Structure 1
Amino acid sequence: MDGLDLTEAWLKLNALEFRPQRARALLEAFDRDPSALFAASAADWRGRVPGLTDKHVSRLSAIQGRSFAPERETLARLCGRIIPYDDPCYPANLRPLPDAPPVLIARGALVTEDKFSIAIVGSRRAGQYGRTLAQRFARELAAHGLTVISGGARGVDTHAHQGALEGGGRTVAFLGSGVDVCYPTDNRALFDRIAGGGGAVVSEFPLGTRPEPWRFPARNRLISGMSLGVLVIESPADSGSLITAREAGDQGRDVFAIPGPVGDGRNSGCHRLIQDGAKLVETVDDILGELGVLSLRSPDSPAPVPNLPPEQRRILDMLALQPRHVDSLIAESGLTAPQVTGILTLLEMRGLARRVPGNAFVRVL
């Protein structure tokens, strides 16, 4: 099977738009080979995957018989790439989540260092206060080596991406459309700049997908899922950024919020988050301290060992100079896979643990 055929098979899987759990079950039933999946018959699909309905089989058959030459041409024109969930460049923080997409489509590059990331979200109709803070915080976080994740929308998102680029760092924009559909259209130059070397423009949706309203809440779980935490800036009570904050909490991520002027409705969502337990942020150091990060760009600075939260201390104590596989850490600790992988990432950021080949970790200190 040559590369083009495999690319087309991944494009077909992506075009099904099945729930991630369903799509991954299909892949697992065919040894994670999408080309084998689309070479199979309807009887094979029904026999190998429990719970497939007539609607599922009809959709599979329709996609199986369709040519994806136009999509392959679009992908080539954009210098885009397919990133399956078992690809080393697939976001490490996103992969363990149960609703992680089986395949992403990206312009630009995702890199392993993107696991050290923070999401910044807020209102599309942000005022000067929100726009200025988004750009400043993103610039400073990027200068410390964190990748800034956002949604490419107007307002806070746009200024977060711009700030990260100004800080000489990386930024990732998750779209609520296909990566070939620029929305909003006035961010075309920004997306080109991100994809051209400052990070990646990414989507779980098929090429050509228009930005329908329901797709944005679905997209939000990826913004929070790829990050270690979510910073909410200037968010009214009805803002979609609160969906991202809720997803972050459900995924075990930290939620941060910046307060605004009392009585300003544009900040009521942030104030509610703080009342509900989000961490109040005034400076970038508040975020870095909570994540246990001094700076990823100052390797001479020693990582602080004391005062680890109990679950982080438990995982650190389980590590030694001999590699420990992640699965064994999950089994012994009694924590969930997302919890353990998140803790390992934080320990790695603090210089206390190091990833080694074979999905294993060793203790550094």
Structure 2
Amino acid sequence: MARLRLVPGTPDGVLAALAGVLDGSGTPFAPVPEDSVGAARVKEAAAPDQPLEDGCAVVLTTSGSSGEPKGVLLSREALIASATATHDRLGGPGQWLLPMKPYFVGGLQILTRSLVAGTTPVMLGDSLTESAAAMTGVRRYTAMVPTQLARYLETDLDALRSFDAIIIGGASTSEPLKVRAAEAGVTAIPAYGMTETGSGCVYAGVPLDGTSIELGDDQRILIKGSTLFSGYRLNPELTAEVLNDGWFRTQDRGELVDGRLRVIGRVDDVVISGGVNVTLTTVQARLLEHPQVKDAVVLGVPDAEWGSRVVAFVVGKPGLDEVRDWVSETLPRTWAPRDVVRLEALPMLASGKVDRQRLLEGVR
């Protein structure tokens, strides 16, 4: 049985290892971040000294933004299926710019798409504008997280406009940010997916070719298709819990609006506070509509009195009273945050997701 190879999580290191597994000449690998903490997490989840499950080409470690990181097994077929379906949706193969870390699925799949398309990826340099200018492809694509899009809308607008499509993933894209991008003439396509689905598998609410979605219990999103992972590394129990008859049972809730998937939030984004069910993502979306709020996350914090205390972490000026009044204008007063923590910026993981664990550690 094959063993897993650890490779440097640099663009060149991952690109070379990917080329090998895609053409059949290489061996399965796990990309390792440069930082010591990230490297330790990957080595623990990937377990390179243990025999590797059949059919695996790459092991990616989830970000662990809301729990312990897991080793996700992705096959060569799943990687290629994701890249091919993406190109089909966007209008054909093209050249890709890599503005994110290649040891997470979003960055790795930019490199996969480049290899499948037979184009040379361009690595992000000192500025987006300079890097975009170096691209020569007839069709030009990139992918980034919402935080990057928001920043580049202010600093590199012409560069954003030069892309035929920009896939936005890694975290939910707020409605105000979608509107800003559209009004600026930027073709930003919100994507839904995760490491287990081989990156985004639903673009602008519509599944890619080869992907099917259903809504199960409590509006939980179920996904089936050719881009799905094979299982979790050395964890058959968890694999059996989330994969059943080809369907992947996600931790997200959604609804279908005019035939398009709208992600409501995670299953655990509903907390009971003072006997009232509060949907944290709905409160968060309302806060992001405030003209003086640049970014926000709303979390439930264990509390002896309330069961869960709703806390808003806000990048902006509004204080507690203003936040509570703003939320209460459109939502029940009982949903309004009981605490507000104002920050210069939200702490982020290397994957582009908010570091929820770090936020919670500061208020418990």
Query: What TM-score do you get using the length of structure 2 for normalisation?
Result: 0.30
Q: Give 1 or 2: higher strand fraction.
A: 2
Query: What TM-score do you get using the length of structure 1 for normalisation?
Result: 0.30
